[in-house]
Amino acid sequence: MNQGWNWMGFLDYLFNPYLLGGALTTLWLTLAAIAGGLILGAVLALARVSKLKRLSSIAGFYIWIFRGTPLLVQLIIIYTGLPQVGIKLSVIQSALLGLILNEAAYLAEIIRGGIQSVPAGQTNAAKALGLSHAQAMRYVILPQATRLITPALGNSINGLLKTTSITSVISMEELLRRTQVLIQEEFMVLELFLVAALYYLLMTSIWDIAQRHIERHFGRAYGPARPPQLSEQR
């Protein structure tokens, strides 16, 4: 067993193809989970703000369940519990399903909060113009809500990049799982965990930069008014 810090081992594994493959798995898991979570979350959010009490209650119950139980427990139930009732899923299917179902509950509340923070006068104005409820939601409410939820949505993606590491408990071959496999073979605990931490830090830092650009894009139309040019004043 290696004693002390191993600089050669650390540098060798810093660009190890096996760990890079795990980082790529983390990335596509995040993208797939956020895409599925957004679709399901939007449906749940619209159900929550619906005037149909039963529909709103069902959505509220779903959100209560998945926000109130740990993702780890949900993954174990999906991967090891569902086969007992005849539903057998692969590791990848279980990981994706668990991440999407869990993320949708949180995104639903973010989207719902964005929708409800748009002033009621906007809806009334849309109805006065003859728009239906669906049209008002599509053309008036959701565009404004998107600007409001963008920061919170970006933070969710940042968190999800790290949360994917929990799928290692069901043997999902993402970054943390591959790091653990190498540690069992090479016994370089600190070096390999530090490499994994640097990978996560790099991915979240890149996303932070992208998030700032996205926030500026959606906030551009709502920024301070541009002072008129001399030609416009004339």
- The answer to whether residue 203 is domain-embedded is yes
What's this model's pTM, rounded to 2 decimal places?
0.84
Report, as an integer, the average pLDDT of 120-147: 75
- The answer to whether residue 147 is domain-embedded is yes
* pLDDT over 90, % of the chain: 59
d(CA 61, CA 134): 24
Instruction: Please write the tens of the pLDDT for every residue from 66-122.
Output: 999 999 999 999 999 999 999 999 999 999 999 999 999 999 999 998 888 877 777
For the chain, how many structural domains are there in total?
1
For residue 232, give both structure tokens: 């416009």
Going by C-alpha positions, the residue among 145, 88, 86 that lies closest to residue 111 is 145
* Unique residue bearing structure tokens 């043997």: 171
Q: Is 107 left (phi over 0), alpha (psi -120 to 50) or beta?
A: alpha
Query: Mean pLDDT of all residues in the chain?
Result: 86
- The answer to whether residue 119 is domain-embedded is yes
Report, as an integer, the average pLDDT of 173-179: 94
- The answer to whether residue 228 is domain-embedded is no
Residue 44, domain CATH: 1.10.3720.10
Report, as an integer, the average pLDDT of 9-31: 92
Domain containing 168 equals 7-218
What's the length of the chain? 234
Residue 226: pLDDT band (50, 70, 90) is very low
- The answer to whether residue 229 is domain-embedded is no
Instruction: Please write the tens of the pLDDT for every residue from 143-154.
Output: 777 788 888 888
**pLDDT value, residue 94:** 96
- The answer to whether residue 133 is domain-embedded is yes
142 burial type by CB count under 10 A (0-12 exposed, 13-18 middle, 19+ buried): middle
- The answer to whether residue 224 is domain-embedded is no
- The answer to whether residue 234 is domain-embedded is no
